[in-house]
Amino acid sequence: MTTTVQAGELPTITISEEIFVRASIEQTFASLLEQLGPRNETPDGKPLSMVLEARPGGRWYRDLGGDNGHLWGFVQSIKRPALLEIWGPLFLSTATTSNLLYRLTESGGETIISFKHTLVVELSIGDMIETAMIGRDGVLNASSALDGKISLNKAIVQLAGAASTIEVDRLRKIAREFDAFRSLLIRHEQVQFAQAQQSAACNASHSVEARMCRWLLQMRDFASSDDLVLTQEFLAQMLGVRRPSVSLVANTLQKAGLIKYRRGNIRLLDIEGLKQGSCECYGVVKAHYQRMLAG
């Protein structure tokens, strides 16, 4: 499987402000929660009926009654009485992501609220690009067992096969009861994060040919097969390039005797040749995996 993100420009808008309050930091933090929750109002003074669940993963939403409303975001971090961080679309319905950060400090009998609002607008071009893969010995959404409340990624199946599922609550219960299992899940997530970082650098720095060799080798490792059922169109999506580029590179690799390509199917013929043609990212990611998860 793979984790994907939308490709395109990501304009960022940042608003910063400092507010001085003549009150203790505890009183100010409590008032802040009230202002974001039940005392929240529109600019013309009308109540918004907002609810803020002040805990990690808690929702921030407008309650219109009768199970109707509008989700604004989630509490990403809260450290009373010094920090509150909220992530989500806020009141917008377009492809945007906002991060609200409130830091409170005491100074000379006053409390300083340092406010920062970062808004990222996603101008999607309808393409996807692979950032991390999960194979037959991996797990998708392991963070749910580590108190993760939100899935931040989109996962799609690249190759057909069998998979098992488990309820989040059961997985979390097992992780809490067995430290070794919880530690393994943490290491798994660390490997996924390292792989995503490496993929980002790879996509920005290396040629399509080197990236394709790396990608095919990784797919072989995860699938334990030299035969991969893939279309050039899908491969182009995962690499973040146009289909003609994939066709050209696939033809070059086939003429070199590294692969054999037929419509919808790629057979890897020369693994050592593919390794030589791949960028160093293949070895780096594999070393991360072997060091932290293998054995």
With bands split at pLDDT 50, 70 and 90, how would you rate the model's confidence at 9?
A: very low
With bands split at pLDDT 50, 70 and 90, how would you rate the model's confidence at 2?
A: very low
Q: Are residues 105 and 175 in the same domain?
A: no
> Would you state the pLDDT for residue 294?
60
Q: Are residues 170 and 247 in the same domain?
A: yes
Domain end residue (candidates: 58, 86, 121): 121
Domain end residue (candidates: 96, 121, 146): 121
Q: Is residue 247 part of a domain?
A: yes
> Would you state the pLDDT for residue 36?
93
Q: Are residues 74 and 154 in the same domain?
A: no
Helical residues (DSSP H) of 74-231, grouped into ranges: 168-177, 179-205, 208-223
The region of weakest confidence among 60-64, 83-87, 108-112, 243-247 is: 243-247
Q: Are residues 113 and 200 in the same domain?
A: no
- Please report how many Cα atoms fall inside a 13 Å half-sphere around the Cα of residue 102, on the Cβ side: 24
96-115 residues labelled b (16+ CB within 10 A) or e (exposed): ebbbbbbebeeeeeebbbee
**What is the mean pLDDT of the segment spanning 227-233?**
81
CATH number at residue 262: 1.10.10.10
Q: Is the peptide bond preceding residue 81 cis, with omega within 30 degrees of 0?
A: yes
Q: Are residues 183 and 45 in the same domain?
A: no
> Would you state the pLDDT for residue 159?
66
> Does residue 230 carry a pLDDT above 50?
yes
> Would you state the pLDDT for residue 123?
42
Span between the terminal Cα atoms of the chain, in Å: 22
> Does residue 234 carry a pLDDT above 70?
yes
With bands split at pLDDT 50, 70 and 90, how would you rate the model's confidence at 3?
A: very low
Q: Is residue 233 part of a domain?
A: yes
Q: Is residue 65 part of a domain?
A: yes
> Containing H/E element for 106?
strand 96-107
Residue 168's identity, in one-letter code, is: V
Q: Is residue 52 part of a domain?
A: yes
Domain end residue (candidates: 59, 93, 121): 121
Determine the structural domain holding residue 100 and report its residue range: 7-121
With bands split at pLDDT 50, 70 and 90, how would you rate the model's confidence at 264?
A: confident
With bands split at pLDDT 50, 70 and 90, how would you rate the model's confidence at 8?
A: very low
With bands split at pLDDT 50, 70 and 90, how would you rate the model's confidence at 1?
A: very low
> Would you state the pLDDT for residue 273?
93
Q: Are residues 114 and 147 in the same domain?
A: no
Encode pLDDT of 103-145 as tens digits.
Answer: 999 988 899 999 888 766 544 444 555 666 777 677 777 766 6
Q: Is residue 154 part of a domain?
A: yes
9 DSSP β-pair partners: 123
Q: Is residue 2 part of a domain?
A: no
CA distance 232 to 251: 11
Q: Are residues 101 and 131 in the same domain?
A: no
> Does residue 292 carry a pLDDT above 50?
yes
> Would you state the pLDDT for residue 291?
76
Q: Are residues 97 and 240 in the same domain?
A: no
Query: For residues 228 and 160, which has the higher predicted lDDT (pLDDT)?
Result: 228
Q: Are residues 185 and 71 in the same domain?
A: no
Q: Are residues 26 and 104 in the same domain?
A: yes
Q: Are residues 198 and 101 in the same domain?
A: no
Q: Is residue 95 part of a domain?
A: yes
Q: Are residues 190 and 115 in the same domain?
A: no
* Tokens matching residue 289: 């995996």
* Tokens matching residue 207: 């040629």
With bands split at pLDDT 50, 70 and 90, how would you rate the model's confidence at 261?
A: confident
Encode pLDDT of 188-228 as tens digits.
Answer: 777 777 777 777 777 777 888 988 999 899 888 877 889 88
CATH number at residue 19: 3.30.530.20
Number of domains in the chain: 2
Q: Is residue 149 part of a domain?
A: yes
> Would you state the pLDDT for residue 4?
40
Encode pLDDT of 17-71 as tens digits.
Answer: 788 888 999 999 999 999 999 998 876 677 889 999 999 989 999 998 888 888 8
